[in-house]
Amino acid sequence: MHITTLPVYELILLLGSPFVRETVFGKGSSEAATKGLSAIFLLIIIPVVVIFFFILKSVYSHTIGKKLKSTLKEDYAKEARKFENEGNFVSAAVVYENKLKDTRKAASLYEKGHDYDRAAMLYDLLGMTEKAKEMYIKAGSLENAAEVAILEGEFDEAAALYDRAGKKIDVAKVMKGAGKMIYAVKAYREAGEYKKAALLLKDEGMLKEAAEMFGFSLYDKKPDTATMEDFYTYAGMLEETGDVQKAAAVYRDIDRADPSFRDVRERLVSLSSKPGEEPVPEGMTTVRSIIKSGRTEPKYSLKLWVQVLKGLQQAYRNGWPPGLLSPDNIIIDAQNNVSFLKRTQPSAYAPPEITKELVPDERADIYSAGVILFEIMTGNLEGLGAVRVIDILDDVPEWLDDIVLKCLKKVREDRYQSIQEIFTDLMNLSRGRTDADALSG
C-alpha cells in the first residue's frame, strides 16, 4: 500500500480546516487544537519572515542601494567640482569634508580659499604639522601654531611664535619647560613678572641678581596688608646676599607698618649683631634680657628707666649720637652701670619723625625711652599707642602713666624737650611717694 507524504505547509493548512480538526481531534477539542496550531504557525512563520527581510535587505544594498549610493557620491563629487571650477574653493572644501569625507582634499581647498584656520585644523588632524603651523601663521593664530610646535618638541620655535604674539609669559613657561632658565627669566622680566623672574634666578643660585630683580617688583610701594609678605621675602633675599644694611632697612619699614608681623623684630635684633657692629661685652647684660625674664614691677621699672636716662645724659656729654636707643643697645654691668652700643635701632623704637627724614635729637631718644618703659612694665609692646599702661596693669600709678604718654607723643614738640624735664616732672608728680627715691643719688 502506497502512502503519500504531504509537505509541512500543506499539512498545516489541512489541519487548519474545521473538517479535518473535527475528524482528527473530535468536535469537543476543536477550539483547543485551533489555538495550538496557531502558536505552532507563529513559531514557524516569524523566523521565516525575519530571514526573508534580511535577504531582501542584503540584495537591495548590493544592487539598488549600492547603485543609489554610488550615484549620490557622484552627485556630491560633481557638486564639489562645480564649486571648484567656479573658484568657490571653500564651498568645494565643505563638500569634500562633510559629504565625501576626503579630509586631505578639503584641507588643500580651504587653503586655496584662504580659510587658513580650517585648513590648519584639518592638516593638524592629518598629522601634517608643518602645514598646520604654516596655516595657523597665515591665519594670524600664532598661539595655535606655537601649541603645535610644542607638541612636536620644537620649543625654540614655539617661544618665537609666542613672542611674536606678544605672549611673554607663555614664552617664559616654554623656556622654563625646556630648561632654558635664563631665557625664561628674560621673558618674565619683559612681561613685568619680576617676582617669578627673581625666584628662577634664586633657583639658579644667582642670589644677588634674584634680590635685585625682586626689588623691582616693590618699586614705589610701601609695606601694607597686600605687600607685607613680599617685603619680608625681599629682606630675606638681601640677608642671603650679605647686604645687611639694606635688609635691616626693609625690616624696619615692615616693623614700622606692623611691629607684630612674623619675626621681624627678631630679625632686626639678629642683624644688629652682625659682624661690624658692637657685640655685647662679656659679663654684661642688655635691657632686652631683663624684659625677656618677665614683667618688672613698676617701682623697679622706674628705677631701671631712670638709670638709663642718667646714663644717656652722660653719653651725650661723651659725644653719643641720638637716634639709636633700644633695649638691645642698652647694656648693664654687675655694678648696675649703664652704657650703650652702636647697633641698628629696630623701627618699633624709632620716633614718628624718622619717616619724615628729620635729624634725630634728644627728643627722638625720649620717644624711644617711652617705648622702652612701656615694654619693661608690660613685658611686651602689644597695644603700644592704642592703650594706656593703666589699662593693662592695676598697680601702675596714674602719674607714671602720664609720663609714658607724654614721652610717646607723635609730634616731637609735644613731648618732653629734654631728659631734665622728665626728671623735673618725676619730682613734682611723685612728690611724697616712695617712688621718688628712685631719683636720689
pLDDT tens-digit series, residues 380-422: 888 888 899 999 998 899 999 999 999 999 999 999 999 999 9
**Helix orientation angle between 264-272 and 228-241, rounded to the nearest 10 degrees:** 20
304, 375 Cβ separation under 8 angstroms = no
pLDDT tens-digit series, residues 200-219: 988 888 888 999 999 999 98
- 348 vs 31, 84, 263, 387, CA distance in Å? 113, 82, 13, 16
Of the candidates 333, 343, 279, the residue with the CA atom closest to the CA atom of residue 307: 333
If you search the block for the grid coordinates 598697680, which residue do you land on? 395
- 293 vs 270, 373, 404, CA distance in Å? 19, 15, 22
pLDDT of residue 34: 64
Residues 6+ apart with CB under 8 A from 182: 204
Q: For residue 286, which phi and psi values (nearest 5 degrees)?
A: -105, 160
| 129/121 Cα distance (integer angstroms) | 10
| 203/183 Cα distance (integer angstroms) | 14
pLDDT of residue 47: 73
pLDDT exceeding 70 applies to what percent of the chain? Answer: 81
Residue 22 has pLDDT above 70, yes or no: no
pLDDT band at 20; cut points 50, 70, 90: very low
What sign does the CA torsion over 265, 266, 269, 274 have? negative
User: Which stretches within 126-243 are classed as H helix?
Assistant: 129-139, 142-151, 155-164, 168-177, 181-190, 194-203, 207-217, 228-241
**Helix orientation angle between 64-85 and 89-98, rounded to the nearest 10 degrees:** 160
pLDDT of residue 433: 53
| 209/185 Cα distance (integer angstroms) | 11
pLDDT of residue 438: 41
Tally of residues, the chain: 441
pLDDT band at 63; cut points 50, 70, 90: low
Instruction: Give the pairing type, strands 338-340 and 285-286.
Output: unpaired
pLDDT tens-digit series, residues 284-334: 889 998 888 877 888 889 999 999 999 999 999 988 889 889 998 999 988
Residues 6+ apart with CB under 8 A from 95: 76, 79, 80, 83
| 146/133 Cα distance (integer angstroms) | 8
347, 252 Cβ separation under 8 angstroms = yes
pLDDT tens-digit series, residues 252-286: 889 888 888 888 877 877 776 554 456 778 888 89
First to last CA, the chain: 162
| 218/15 Cα distance (integer angstroms) | 105
Residue 16 has pLDDT above 80, yes or no: no
- 299 vs 303, 376, 400, 430, CA distance in Å? 6, 11, 10, 11
pLDDT, average across residues 232-246: 87
pLDDT tens-digit series, residues 347-364: 788 898 887 778 889 999
pLDDT of residue 390: 93
Q: What letter represents residue 59's amino acid? A: V
Task: Tell me, yes or no, if the pTM score tops 0.75.
Answer: no
**Helix orientation angle between 298-317 and 362-378, rounded to the nearest 10 degrees:** 160
415 vs 105, more confident: 415
| 36/203 Cα distance (integer angstroms) | 90
Q: For residue 251, which phi and psi values (nearest 5 degrees)?
A: -60, -40
pLDDT of residue 373: 94
92, 80 Cβ separation under 8 angstroms = yes
CB atoms within 10 A of CB 167: 19
310, 338 Cβ separation under 8 angstroms = yes
Residue 441 has pLDDT above 60, yes or no: no
pLDDT of residue 32: 59
Residue 67 has pLDDT above 70, yes or no: no
- 421 vs 303, 414, 424, 425, CA distance in Å? 17, 12, 5, 6
Surface-to-core class of residue 282, CB atoms within 10 Å of its CB (0-12 exposed, 13-18 middle, 19+ buried): exposed
